[in-house]
Each structure stands twice: as C-alpha cells, then as structure tokens.
C-alpha cells in the first residue's frame, strides 16, 4: 500500500450541522484552496460535484435554521 494512504488527510462527508466543517468551507471560499483543511471531503450523493453538494447542504441548513424545517410536499 502507498504511504499516502496512511499519511494522507482522512476522508469525511461534509456535515452542515458541524461548525468546524462550515468553518473549513468558509476558509476554502476565502482562500480558494483546500490546502489548510485537515480532512478531505467526499460526495456521498448523486450530485457528483463536491462544491455543489456542500452548497446545497448549507442552503438547507441555513433555510431550516431561519424558517424552521418543513416536510416536503408530495405531489
């Protein structure tokens, strides 16, 4: 096995409820690099694009925080 596998930053799924995850994303937005982030975020849904997934989760998080969570209407 590669030593990068053992010495690399750990993989994790972005959690919008985790304050540290939100801070790391804010740092990325400011610096335009993940270089200072101690973890590597992975996409766990069909979005395929990491930044889109994170932005959607943040939108859901802050919308629910401001307006309260509502159940999705079923058509």
The 3 state secondary structure assigned to 9-24 is: CCEEECCCCCHHHHHH
Q: Would 58 be classed as within a structural domain?
A: no
What is the rounded average pLDDT of the residues 40-59? 89
Q: What's the CA gap between 74 and 22, in Å, rounded?
A: 30
Q: What's the CA gap between 9 and 25, in Å, rounded?
A: 16
> Is-contact 21 58, C-beta < 8 A?
no
- Domain holding 26, by residue range, is 1-46
> Cβ neighbours of residue 60 under 8 Å, at least 6 residues apart?
16
Counted domains in the chain? 1
Q: Would 60 be classed as within a structural domain?
A: no
Q: Would 61 be classed as within a structural domain?
A: no
Beta bridge partner(s), residue 62 = none
Residues 8-41 pLDDT 10s: 899 999 999 999 999 999 999 999 999 999 999 9
Q: Give pTM, 2 decimals.
A: 0.80
Q: Would 64 be classed as within a structural domain?
A: no
């Amino acid at each position: 096995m590669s030593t990068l596998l053992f010495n690399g930053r750990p993989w994790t799924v972005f959690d919008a409820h985790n304050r540290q995850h939100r801070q790391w994303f804010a740092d990325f937005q400011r610096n335009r690099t993940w270089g200072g982030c101690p973890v590597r975020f992975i996409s766990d849904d069909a979005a395929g694009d990491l930044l889109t997934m994170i932005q959607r989760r943040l939108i859901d998080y802050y919308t629910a925080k401001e307006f309260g969570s509502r159940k999705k209407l079923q058509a």
